[in-house]
Structure 1
Amino acid sequence: MKQVARKILLNPGPATTTDTVKQAMVVEDICPREKDFGKLLDSIKEDLVKVVHGGDEYIAALFTASGTGGLEAAITSAVPKEKKILIIDNGAYGARMANIASTYGIDVVSYKVAYGDFPDVNHVEKLLKENKDVSHLAVVHHETTTGILNPVQAICDLAKKFGVEVIVDCMSSYAGIPIDVKRWGAGYLISSSNKCIQGMPGMVFVIFKKALLPELKNQKRSYYFDLYSQYVGFEKTGQMQFTPPVQVAYALRQAIDEYFTEGEANRWNRYQENWNVLCSGLKKLGFEFLLPDQYQSKILLAIKEPSSPRYNFDAMHDYLYQRGYTIYPGKGAKEATFRLSVLGDLYKTDIENFLAELKGYLLHAGIITA
């Protein structure tokens, strides 16, 4: 296989991948209707549930889509037509869930928080008391707008008291931050193939309580993103309803294998080490962060933009991109920020080398003098 240059992606996904995940896509051509490919997909579905300790109580459905497709499948399939959904909107991805629901005519109760502030669980309880027709609550676990880690366990515990099912966007936390979905008690968990699981873009999955399957049968709003049809159809035929990205599935299988080889604790420890090195190095360079330490996810940092008139994000991006490092702009936080993530196949030395290049830019631009 042709040698591929290693790029350090510090954006919040798609992530830097291993050579073995890339190589997994170079396979014999196969029709996705063949039994052998169906067995591959079945093994992926089973192991995706194992990553979050779902046991026999949870099942998974796969879709060909970006992460947003999985959110659309969960929201449009789960919420009954006469009910409402409460959405915690403290970032662009909470807002996206509200937009998905509204697009399909689902009534939304929105708890909007400034992007960078922590949601108040007591206010969530107040909204649930005031809106008896709310059947589902949606929240982003790790909101990459700011790097905040929302209090999913407390929200799930509260929702249980009101008989409300919780939909959790785990796009950028699944297979990174340890998750026990049974302990949460969440009804639905959504993630994609290209974030902390360290596969390639193109597949999304919804992990959900098996007991909810009968409720989904007659709640169809979307033809393509119907969760019930997608799950039941595969169980009957061993095939996805619509053409899957075959090579991406092989890469995902390899990425899952590598996850279990590394281990849940070891992956999380690696991410935390990367994050700690990044934090320390940025502080030494004079940067400040949007969030206080207690709200940080330890996967992504929202960094306040320097006040120097010599600072320009695009210039900084281009300088670093030419040297093999990708950084990410801010996204509507309460203060101007840029963002750096440590998810993917990254290690301490990658972060240290990046910090050296970042210092080089700051010196080059005259933002710092030493």
Structure 2
Amino acid sequence: MKKVDRKILLNPGPATTTDTVKNAMVVEDICPREEEFGALIEGIKNDLVKVVHGEDEYIAALFAASGTGGLEAAITSAVPKGKKLLVVENGAYGTRMIKLAETFDIGVVRYQLEYGDYPSVEAIGKLLKENEDVSHLAVVHHETTTGMLNPVQEICDLSHKHGVEVIVDCMSSYAGIPIDVKKWQAEYIISSSNKCIQGMAGLVFVIFKADLLPKLSEQKRSFYFNIYSQYVGFEKTGQMQFTPPVQVCYALRQAIDEYFAEGEEGRWSRYQKNWDVLVEGLQDMGLSFLLPYEQQSKILLAIIEPKNPKYNFDAMHDYLYEKGFTIYPGKGAKSATFRLSVLGDLYPKDIEDFLVALKGYLTSIA
């Protein structure tokens, strides 16, 4: 097995991966129309559903795309013509869903908050009462603009009382934060191959209720990102409609195997340990956080930028990058921040090493 220089990615995906996931991409060339490859994809799709405990009720459609492609597939396939989408917008990824819907002339009701404000379930209920033409609600589970964990269970329960279906962006929570999709009863959840599942970028998947297929068959907004045609096409032929990233599929198969070997609780426990080390270390340096503790995802932190006039994010990024650590800028939150994530193949020792490097930068500008 080839060893690759290990980089510590503290951005919210793509994530640091294991050597075994990297090496899984070194395989014999194969035509993706072969039965062997179809069996690989079938196993991947089934196991993606198992990660969120959706067996027997949910199914998955797989696309070659970034995460945004999966959101496009869900929104354009789900919302009927003449109906509207209510979007919980308290971060950049809620805003992205609005832009996506508007691109396809889907009517949008915005529940707009400052990036970093916590959504009110009561306010959402008021909007649902006032807008009876809303058929679907979209919300981000883990909003990586700020590191906020939105109240998805409460939002699902409320939406269903109003007969509204729910689309959940689980991009950076799936396979990290434990999710029981049958408890949520969300109609659609979306994630990608390169975040907490710890595979490579290039695949996105929509996990959805199997009994929605008849309704989905009526939607024709998109040719490529059509959930019904993608799912049914594979079921009929054992082949993806369009050429998949073959090697990325093998990497995802390996990443899923490693997820089940570690276990849901094992992965979440490791991420929490990373988080605890990070939070304690940053507090010891006098840094503070955008969100209160109870709203944190425990996967990503938005840190208030230091007031020191010598501080410069780009300079800090370059200083840390040279030492093997990648950090992430803020993204329009209500206060100026930079962001650090603990997802991926990371361990407390990695976080400790990063904190030493960060302290070195902060000391250099003191």
Alpha-carbon contact 2:2-2:19 (below 8 Å) kept:
no
2:345 paired residue number: 345
1:281 paired residue number: 281
SS at match of 1:302: strand
Q: CA deviation at 1:2?
A: 4.0
Cα distance between partner residues in 1 of 2:55 and 2:43 = 14
Q: Which amino acid aligns with 1:211?
A: D
Cα distance between partner residues in 1 of 2:191 and 2:90 = 19
| Deviations 1:227-257, CA, capped at 9 Å, x for gaps | 1000000000000100000000000000000
SS at match of 2:205: strand
Structure 2: gaps spanning 5 or more residues: none
Q: CA deviation at 1:364?
A: 1.6
Cα distance between partner residues in 2 of 1:3 and 1:128 = 53
Q: CA deviation at 1:218?
A: 1.3
Cα distance between partner residues in 2 of 1:93 and 1:175 = 19
| Deviations 1:158-197, CA, capped at 9 Å, x for gaps | 0110111000000000000000000001000000000000
* Mapping 1:296-315, distance limit 5 Å: 296-315=296-315
2:58 paired residue number: 58
| Deviations 1:99-158, CA, capped at 9 Å, x for gaps | 000000000000001111100000000000000010000000000000000000000000
Name the % identity: 76
Q: Which amino acid aligns with 1:160?
A: H
2:325 paired residue number: 325
Q: Which amino acid aligns with 2:312?
A: N
Alpha-carbon contact 2:142-2:148 (below 8 Å) kept:
yes
SS at match of 2:166: strand
Q: Which amino acid aligns with 2:273?
A: E
TM-score normalised per structure 2: 1.00
TM-score normalised per structure 1: 0.98
Cα distance between partner residues in 2 of 1:72 and 1:281 = 39
Q: Does 1:133 align with 2:133?
A: yes
SS at match of 2:207: strand
Cα distance between partner residues in 2 of 1:364 and 1:162 = 56
Q: Which amino acid aligns with 2:67?
A: G
Q: Which amino acid aligns with 1:75?
A: I
Q: CA deviation at 1:358?
A: 0.5
2:362 paired residue number: 362
1:41 paired residue number: 41
1:184 paired residue number: 184
* Mapping 1:226-305, distance limit 5 Å: 226-305=226-305
Alpha-carbon contact 2:61-2:231 (below 8 Å) kept:
yes
Alpha-carbon contact 2:141-2:168 (below 8 Å) kept:
yes
Q: CA deviation at 1:55?
A: 1.4
Please identify runs of 4+ aligned residues in structure 1 that moved more than 3 A.
Answer: none
2:31 paired residue number: 31
Q: Does 1:209 align with 2:209?
A: yes
2:116 paired residue number: 116
Q: CA deviation at 1:337?
A: 0.2
Q: How many residues align?
A: 366
CA RMSD for the aligned pairs? 0.5
Q: Which amino acid aligns with 2:234?
A: F
2:172 paired residue number: 172
2:88 paired residue number: 88
SS at match of 1:80: coil
Q: CA deviation at 1:219?
A: 1.0
Alpha-carbon contact 2:2-2:23 (below 8 Å) kept:
no
Cα distance between partner residues in 2 of 1:363 and 1:208 = 50
Q: Does 1:316 align with 2:307?
A: no
Cα distance between partner residues in 2 of 1:3 and 1:147 = 32
Cα distance between partner residues in 2 of 1:61 and 1:339 = 31
Cα distance between partner residues in 2 of 1:240 and 1:283 = 49
